[in-house]
Amino acid sequence: MKAIVYTSNTGFTARYARLLGEKAALPVYGLKEAKKALAPQTEIIYLGWLQAGQITGLRQAVRRYRISILCAVGLAPAVETQLRELRKRYQAAYPQLFYLQGGLKMEKLRGPQKWIMKIVCKSLHKQIEEKKELSEADRDTLLLLEKGGDRVDPSALEAILHDLHQTRQAE
Ligand SMILES: Cc1cc2nc3c(=O)[nH]c(=O)nc-3n(C[C@H](O)[C@H](O)[C@H](O)COP(=O)(O)O)c2cc1C
């Protein structure tokens, strides 16, 4: 593994990428900047923010690099339903697949992203409120949807570091 490459819109994915870079002693590049710094087919860890269920920047990244570990950063907590959807879409091509909760910064969103997110927030809010019983994760998601917030958790990187350690041992 040679580097970490990421795409971030409001900064949460960038923070996870930098934290991971520090912990794994790997250089960290945004996707555009990586083009100058890394040769094609370099083996990387790719992190991208989730946009309507898709990992942003992945298509460009996979055209240029070998992605060994793939990580999505979204707004929802890492509940099983979220992970199941991601696995359906990505796990066949990327068996080392992870999900991290980032957060929501409405004030940093512009134009269509802002209004899409407002609609998404309303509909998620309604879905959660209709549940008979709310879990702690549900309550926290309601708070995040109402007020925005930062849920970056450095300890959530441990699972990725564990996988990385095993990948390095096999190299
Ligand atoms: C247009 C749009 C669509 C989004 N779609 C999803 C989604 O499908 N699932 C999810 O968990 N989060 C979704 N989010 C939330 C972002 O993935 C989340 O805020 C993430 O932490 C952003 O990371 P960043 O700060 O690196 O850009 C969406 C955000 C926007 C603006």
* pLDDT at residue 171 tops 80: no
* Distance (Å) from CA 36 to ligand 1 centroid: 27
The residue whose C-alpha atom lies closest to atom 22 belonging to ligand 1 is 49
Model confidence pTM above 0.85: yes
Q: Which atom of ligand 1 is nearest to the CA of 12?
A: 25
Token pair for 17: 């990428």
The residue whose C-alpha atom lies closest to atom 10 belonging to ligand 1 is 74
Q: Nearest 10 degrees: CA dihedral of 27, 31, 37, 42?
A: 80
Give 27-76 pLDDT, tens digit per residue: 999 999 999 999 999 999 999 999 988 999 999 999 999 999 999 999 98
* Distance (Å) from CA 33 to ligand 1 centroid: 22
Phi-psi region of 79 (alpha: psi -120 to 50; beta: other; left: phi over 0): beta
Token pair for 60: 């460009």
Q: Which atom of ligand 1 is nearest to the CA of 53?
A: 8
pLDDT at 95: 94
Domains contained in the chain, CATH given: 3-105+150-170 (3.40.50.360)
Mean pLDDT of 112-118: 93
**Type of residue at 13:** T
pLDDT band for position 136 (cuts 50, 70, 90): very high
Alpha carbons 85 and 89: distance in angstroms, whole number: 7
* Distance (Å) from CA 49 to ligand 1 centroid: 6
* Distance (Å) from CA 8 to ligand 1 centroid: 10
pLDDT band for position 142 (cuts 50, 70, 90): very high
Give 70-114 pLDDT, tens digit per residue: 999 999 888 788 889 999 999 999 999 999 999 999 999 999 999
Question: CB under 6 Å to ligand 1: residues?
Answer: 8-14, 49-53, 73-76, 102-104, 109, 113, 116-117
CA-nearest of 60, 74, 62 to 32 is 60
pLDDT band for position 134 (cuts 50, 70, 90): very high
pLDDT band for position 9 (cuts 50, 70, 90): very high
